[in-house]
Chain A
C-alpha cells in the first residue's frame, strides 16, 4: 500500500488551524514534531484513569502505571533493535542523555590530561558543550572533524584525528542544519581499532529513518521524544548493556539505588541506575504510543515519503532566484531538513514574511553555530519535513520566498 499523506494528516488536529489567516504550513519538524491524536489520547487516558507512581507501589494504579511505563520502554527497544529493554534509559531529552554519557563514561574511562575526545563541526550544541565541559573538568583535549563544502563530514584526516589517545568519539547521525546523514562505516572501524567509544546523536535520525542499533556500530546513542511525534520532556539513551552495566550513575536519588545506608549506597542495575527520581511517566507512555504510530505506518514508508518531499523541495528551492542551499544538493545521503539563504535578506526577515503567510520555518543558528560559521553566515533559514509534509506545502514555501524577495527587493 502506498503512503497516504492526506490520511496521515487527519490524525494531527493541529492541521485544522490557521496561522495569520492562512492554512498552517508546518515546516519545522526538525525543531519539534506535531502530535497525532493517538499519542494525545493515550497520555490523557493515562492521566485520567491509571495515574500512579512507577516502580514503588504495590497498589493497582502503581502496578498499571509501571506496566505502561515499562511497556513503552520495551516497544522503544524493539523500535531501535535493542537487544533488551534494559538497554533503553529514559532521560529528559537528548541533551540530558549526552550529558549523562559525558559524565558517566568520562568517569568510567578516567578521562584525564593526554586523553582526547573527538566530535565534529556539524554537531548541535548539545553534542559540543557537554564535551567541552568534560575537557574543562579533566584536562582532556577536544578535537573535531570539519565539514566539506558539500556539507559532509571531512574524513580526510580520520587516522590522525582518531588515535590511540582518543577515548570517546561523539558524532551526529543526521545534521539538524544540513540534513546530511553520516555514514559511519570507516569512523566506526577506526574507533574500534583504537579502543574508543562511539556515541551517536540520533535526535534527527531515529524519527525519520529505520534504525537498528545492532548495525549502527555505536556503543551509545541519544534521541528525543518530541521530534518523533511524542511529547517534550522524554528522551532516550540507548547503550550496549555490558557497557551500561560498567558506567557509574549520573544523578543520584530515588529509584537508582540498591541499598542505601548512612555511610554509603550501592546502585541498581541499568536502566534504573540512570533514572533517579520520579521519571516523566506520562511522557514515556506517550513516546511508546508515538513509536506504535510510526511502526504502524512503517519507517521504510515514512523515509520514502520524506525522500520524495526532499527531492521536490530541493528542486523547488533551486528554482527560486537568489536562494542558496547549504548542505547536500541531492536527496542521496541526506534527510528532509533543508537550510538555505536568500541573498541580501536576513533569515529573521525571511521567517517573519513566511510566518505572515502561515509558513512556519526556523531561522537563526539552529543551536549549531559552528555550522553557520563554517559556511560564512551568521544564520540560516531552515525548512524541515516529516511524514505529514505535502508537496502543496513546499509550493507554499516557494511562493512565500517570492514574497520575501518582493518585500526586500
Chain B
C-alpha cells in the first residue's frame, strides 16, 4: 500500500511515544502555531542556548511525530548546527519527494521523506518547525531564513 511511504514505523513510533513532550520552564521564547485548515496546534518553548526545547500540541501523527523528532534533533545543539538541521528538514519537505535525505544530518527526520510526496501533509510536518523558528527568534536566536510553505 502506498501509505507505507507516509506512515513509516519511525513516524508511528514517535507519534505513540513522543520524545520530550510537555511544556517546561524556564524558557526564553515561546510560539503557538495553528494550521487553520485542520485545527492542528502546537506550542514550542526554547531557551536562548537551545539547551531546552519543550512543546505540546494537538494534531495528527505527522505533526506530532515531527515535533518529537525536532526535539530529538535540535535540543542541545549550537545555533549553527540547529540552523543547518532546520534548513535540511525544510528542504526535504519542499522537495516533492525528490530529495535524498542525509541521515547524518537528519537522523529519524529522514522518515519524513515520504511525507513530502503528500502535498496536503507537508504543512503538518512543518508546523512544529515553524513554531520552533518563531520561538527561537523570540529567544533572540536566528535559525535562518523563513521558508515558503508551498503545500
Query: A residues touching B (Cβ–Cβ < 8 Å)?
Result: 20, 345-349, 352-353, 356, 363-365, 369, 372, 378-379, 407-408
Contacts and interface: CB of A to CB of B under 8 A. Distances in A.
Determine the main DSSP class of B at the interface with A. Answer: mixed
Nearest to B37: A364
Interface string B1-22: 1110011000010000000000
A352 B118 contact: yes
A378 B58 contact: yes
Interface of B: 1-3, 6-7, 12, 37-41, 58-62, 64, 118, 121, 124
Contact of B39 (A352, A372, A407, A408): A372
A407 B8 CA distance: 10
B46 to A, nearest CB: 24
Nearest to A348: B60
A119 B142 CA distance: 45
A130 B121 CA distance: 30
B3 A378 contact: no
Given A378-B59, A408-B12, A408-B61, A348 B3 contact: no
Contacts of B1: 356
A352 B3 contact: yes
Contacts of A348: 38, 40, 59-62, 121, 124
A378 B40 contact: yes
B60 A20 contact: no
Contact of A20 (B2, B38, B41): B2
A346 B121 contact: no
A356 B39 contact: no
Of listed B39, B118, B124, residue having the most chain A CB within 10 A = B39
Given A365-B39, A378-B58, A379-B38, A352 B2 contact: no
Nearest to B118: A352
9 contacts: A346-B59, A347-B60, A348-B62, A348-B121, A352-B118, A365-B38, A369-B39, A378-B38, A378-B58
A326 B8 CA distance: 31
Given A348-B38, A352-B118, A378-B38, 16 more contacts: A346-B61, A348-B40, A348-B59, A348-B60, A348-B61, A352-B3, A352-B6, A352-B121, A353-B3, A364-B37, A378-B58, A379-B39, A379-B40, A407-B3, A407-B7, A408-B61
Contacts of B121: 348, 352
Contacts of A379: 38-40
A206 to B, nearest CB: 26
Contacts of A353: 3
Contacts of A408: 12, 61
Nearest to B34: A378
A161 to B, nearest CB: 27
A20 B118 CA distance: 13
A347 B37 CA distance: 12
A154 B52 CA distance: 47
A372 B36 CA distance: 13
Contacts of A20: 2
A372 B41 CA distance: 14
Nearest to A364: B38
**Closest A-B pairs by Cβ, 5 of them:** A348-B60, A346-B60, A364-B38, A378-B39, A365-B39
A205 to B, nearest CB: 25
Nearest to A353: B3
Nearest to A346: B60
